[in-house]
Each structure stands twice: as structure tokens, then as C-alpha cells.
Amino acid sequence: MRKSLKKLGGLLLVCSMVGMSLAGCSQKEGEKTASDTASEAVAENKEFSYPMETDKTLTYWIPLNVNVSANYGNLGETDFYKNLHEQSGIAVEYKHPALGQEKEQFNLMLLDEELPDIVEWEWFGYEGGPQKAIDDGVIIPLNDVFDKYCPNIKAYLKDHPDVDKMIKTDSGDYYCFPFIRGGDLLLTSMGPMLRGDWLDELGLEVPKTVDEWETVLTAFKEKKGATGAFAYWYSVPDLTNNNPFACAYGARRTFYLKDGKIAYGAIEDSYKNYLQKMSEWMKAGLLDPDLATLTNDQVAAKITSGAAGASFAWGGSGMGNWTKAGKETNPDFRLVGAPYPTLEAGQKPEMGQRDNFYPGGLGCAAITTSCKDVEVAARLLDYGYSEAGHVLFNFGKEGVSYEMKDGKYVYTDLLLNNPDMSITHSMAGHVRANYNGPFVQDEEYILQYFSLDEQKEALKLWSDTNMKKYTIPPITPNAEESKEIAKVMTEVNTYRDECTLKFILGTMDMSEWDNYVSTIKSMGIDKVLEMENAALERYNAR
């Protein structure tokens, strides 16, 4: 792991950068570190306006989002960056890891003597978490930086203390400029959907309970010839962790909040009940027999061809794209959203998919210890939280990607009706709203991105759950805990996934459930829960 060590007189002198000045820390004569700059910055605070006058070009390491890479080889080629450069006055040289090799190349980058000025990454995925990244001398704490150079994010955090709590370590260090979802409608992005035209033809209502779903899927199989009535991209954790039928049974595949404590759902009876139902549906031919190996393209083909009549997917890349493709060969093709199912009629769904306002994943930009001009880096990143930056990141440039209508930012046809590319790909050249980044995402983005009435209605249905009370906040286990948790959970998750599939496919009888649970317990899940709950207690005490 990269260490902040400086060799002087044959001795290795460690410069601590966690919440303290470096006035007494030894370093090479005349050398000025990133943390020196940040500490000196607290001394005075002067007025500042964009564009910034600087000849500095920042280096910025960031995985290139697939929506961008569909048309551009580098983020610097996009209209988004060109507008950011013009408005902020700050030039950026973007560096992208190879697609599919992001984690490996991130780890290799850490071995370099000189890091990029800014690294945008999923800092919870750093071994030991964001505090360890600070302690290892990879990134700098941002408390002093925010105070001196970042009035925009400071103002936002002051007005949103819940988010402020989320982007700190347990030691109180800010570590990144975060991606923040700016409204409740942005917290849920996926849900169950099915062929609305088939429902109309068969005289069926949108299903709300598991029993109603079973009736609909049976009708799709018997009367519409669906060879696997329900099919979805099972191998994607975000989808399988939020399987709508698991939600109906109050079952979680991984960790969740239960009565204020963290529990592991895959060993609870609710998970057993869910697996029992899926096993029954697999035997009855209601689930796609190739469920475990389906790719996204295969799911899309099954839905649009009629081999499947229902799925679980995102509202944009699923419902939106599939509807467009389906209508090309069948003008009556229509997908509708269904609420997360329940076991009893009339109940409000307890569980579903829901993010935190700070989801804690990609899109979080940190300043590294190699940055020679922290002010320039901080000014660039703080711009995303300014009023003008909010417009740029979410809507782009007026007269090009948006127009003002009745006081609202409205996307132009260049984005919404581009004949040469999808909405998703067109947007990605002008804004970052449809993936992530250091800014606050605007709800108006999703209401326009979802151009179909069916998408808008589905979003409301999918958001109407009690999932908030089950969602774990972005806790940060310490380095020792993280290492032990990773060691145990690698083994646990592999075993869980193998057995889950066997239970569903019927190659493992449900009579083996108790042995399955005892095996996971023997692997150390109870110790992991102790550490996870210790981290939760520290988070609650922030």
C-alpha cells in the first residue's frame, strides 16, 4: 500500500495528515505538500468567482462510464468537459482505466510515485475504507480544504446534516466531494415490470401480491407461450439483492437494518420461504430455466420477442430501451411497472430497492497527496455544487442541451430525440446526471429522462415502500474490521450464492436449509455482525 513516507538523512519520517497542521513535520527543504497548502489555507478566506485564472492543468483519474465510452474515448472529448473548462477556467487531463480492469488498474495506480491530482473512485471499496486511504497517504482529509476553498459544498452540507454525516469518517474527516441524489424520486431506480398489452389482452390486472403474480405468470406461460415467463439479469448484485419476490417475504440476500441493528438476511427464515417459492416457480416453468446465466442482451431479447413477459430491471435501460425496441416489431408492445409485491392484499410493500442520498459508490472525487495545487483542485470540484455547476452537471449548456421553459430546465431534442443515438448515450456527452459524479443530482433529470408515462408511473410505484427503515447508512468499518469482514464474507457469499441457485433449481432440497445456515455460522457470520454493528454505533455517534 502506498505510504506517505519521505526519506531524509537515512530516516523515514511519517507526516501525519489527519486533522492537524504539518508545521512541525519534517520534509525536504522547500518542498510544499498538498496538506501544507490545505493547512495554510485556513489562515484567510477571500472572495472568489469563476472562471478561475490559472494555467494549471489537473490530472484526473476516473473510470469512463459506459454511456460515455459508447461515443467518446475520453471524458475530455465531451461537450460536458468543454463547458466545464469554459465555465470553471480550469483545464483537466482525464486518465481512464481500461474498461473491465478498473479495480486492477486502481491498485496499480496506488503504487506510482506520483498520483493524479484527483481520483474519482468508490472509496468504500478501498481496503480499510476511506480513513485508511487517508492514513496510507493516498488522499488528504478535506476539512481545512472545505473551509478555505469550497463555499458551495459547505453550504449544502450545512443545510443537509444527514448527508454531512455520511461523507465523514468516524474520526470526523471529510474525504471526498460526493455524488448526492437530490430527491426521493432519485433513490429508487429499478422495479418489477411486465407486458401491459398482454395484461389487457388476457383481462388481467397489474399484480400486487405474490399469489397474483403467480396467476399472471401462469397465464403468460399457458396463453402467450412464454417459455420462461419471468426473466431478469440475475448475475448483477444490485438486481438480485433487491429481487422483488424476496422483498415480498421480507427477505434480504445480504446485510440490512432490523430493529436498528444490522442483520444478515440470507440465513433467516424469510429467505428460506422466498427460496421455497422460487423453487416451486422454477419447477412450474414460471422462471426462465437459464436464469443464472442470462446476460442483459438475452433478457432484452426475451422480453421484446415474447419468450418472457415480465422482468426486474431499471426504468431507463430496461423499461425505456425495451419498449422502444419492442415497438419496432410490435406497435402494441407496452411495458408497465408493478409495485413491489406483498404477501397480503392491501399491504404497503415493506421492502424494495432504495439508495441513501449519498449512495457511497462511484462518482466520489478525492484529492490525492500528490496534488501540488490543492486550491485549483478544490475550486474545480466545488464548482459542481454551485448554482451554475448544478445546471451544467444536470442539464448542460443552454441553447444546446436544454432550454428554459416556464422557469424549468427542459432538455432539447438533441438529447431526448436524437436520431443517431439513445437518450442515455446522448445525455452522457453533455451532462453527468445520468450516471454520477461530484455534484447533486436533480429530480428534474429523471422526470425527463423517463419520457414514457409508464416509466413515470412505475417510478412512483417502486418508490412507495417502507425500505428506508431497512437501509444501512454508509458506515465505515476500520482497517482491522474491514480485513476480517472481507476474509469471512468472501467465503460466505460464495457458499450462499452456490446454495441459493441449487435451492431455486431444485438440485438442493429445502431439507438442507438448517445445514446451510449452520455452515454459514461456522464461517464466522456472527463475528462479522458484531463488527458491522460496532461500525454502525460509531456512525450513529458522529
Q: DSSP string covering 283-344, please? A: HTT-B-TTGGG--HHHHHHHHHHTS-SEEEEEIIIIIIHHHHHHHHH-TT--EEE-PPPBSS
pLDDT digits (tens, 9 = 90+) for 198-245: 999 999 999 999 999 999 999 999 999 999 999 999 999 999 999 999
Residue partners of 181: CB distance under 8 A and separation at least 6: 187, 355, 356, 357, 358, 359, 440, 441
pTM (2 d.p.): 0.85
pLDDT at residue 9 is higher than 50? no
Residue with the bigger pLDDT between 285 and 31: it is 285
Is the previous residue joined to 51 through a cis bond, with omega within 30 degrees of 0? yes
Taken in order of first residue, the domains within the chain and their CATH numbers are 43-183+354-441 (3.40.190.10), 190-353+470-540 (3.40.190.10)
520 half-sphere exposure, CB direction, 13 A CA radius: 26
∠ at Cα 261 (260, 267), nearest 5°? 130
Return phi, psi of residue 365, to 5°.
-100, 130
| Residue 30: per-residue pLDDT | 42
Decide: residue 209, CB within 10 A, 0-12 exposed, 13-18 middle, 19+ buried. middle
pLDDT at residue 443 is higher than 80? yes
pLDDT at residue 2 is higher than 90? no
Residue with the bigger pLDDT between 64 and 29: it is 64
pLDDT digits (tens, 9 = 90+) for 161-200: 999 999 999 999 999 999 999 999 999 999 999 999 999 9
| Residue 13: per-residue pLDDT | 27
The average pLDDT across 409-421 equals: 95
pLDDT digits (tens, 9 = 90+) for 96-132: 999 999 999 999 999 999 999 999 999 988 988 899 9
**What is the percent of the chain where pLDDT is above 70?**
92
Gap between the Cα atoms of 220 and 201, Å rounded: 11
| Residue 46: per-residue pLDDT | 57
Residue partners of 439: CB distance under 8 A and separation at least 6: 179, 180, 384, 385, 389, 390, 393, 394, 432
Gap between the Cα atoms of 249 and 211, Å rounded: 12
- If one counts every other C-beta atom within 10 angstroms of the C-beta of residue 106, the result is 17
pLDDT digits (tens, 9 = 90+) for 398-408: 999 999 999 99
| Residue 127: per-residue pLDDT | 85
| Residue 422: per-residue pLDDT | 87
Which cell numbers hold the place of 303?
422480453
Radius of gyration over alpha carbons of the chain, in Å? 25
The average pLDDT across 42-57 equals: 79
pLDDT at residue 518 is higher than 70? yes
Q: H/E element holding 152? A: helix 151-159
∠ at Cα 336 (335, 342), nearest 5°? 135
To 10 degrees, what angle do helices 151-159 and 374-383 make? 50
Closest alpha carbon to 302 in 247, 244, 220? 220
Return phi, psi of residue 101, to 5°.
-120, 25
pLDDT at residue 21 is higher than 70? no
Across 136-267, the runs of DSSP E, i.e. the strands, are 180-181, 190-195, 255-258, 261-264
Return phi, psi of residue 86, to 5°.
-65, -45
Gap between the Cα atoms of 273 and 250, Å rounded: 10
Closest alpha carbon to 166 in 10, 307, 308, 360? 360
| Residue 35: per-residue pLDDT | 42
Closest alpha carbon to 206 in 305, 350, 340? 340
| Residue 40: per-residue pLDDT | 45
pLDDT digits (tens, 9 = 90+) for 339-363: 999 999 999 999 999 999 999 988 9
Confidence at 10, pLDDT banded by 50, 70, 90:
very low
pLDDT at residue 34 is higher than 60? no
The average pLDDT across 145-159 equals: 98
pLDDT digits (tens, 9 = 90+) for 521-541: 999 999 999 999 999 999 999
Which cell numbers hold the place of 310?
415480465
pLDDT digits (tens, 9 = 90+) for 472-494: 999 988 889 988 999 999 999 99
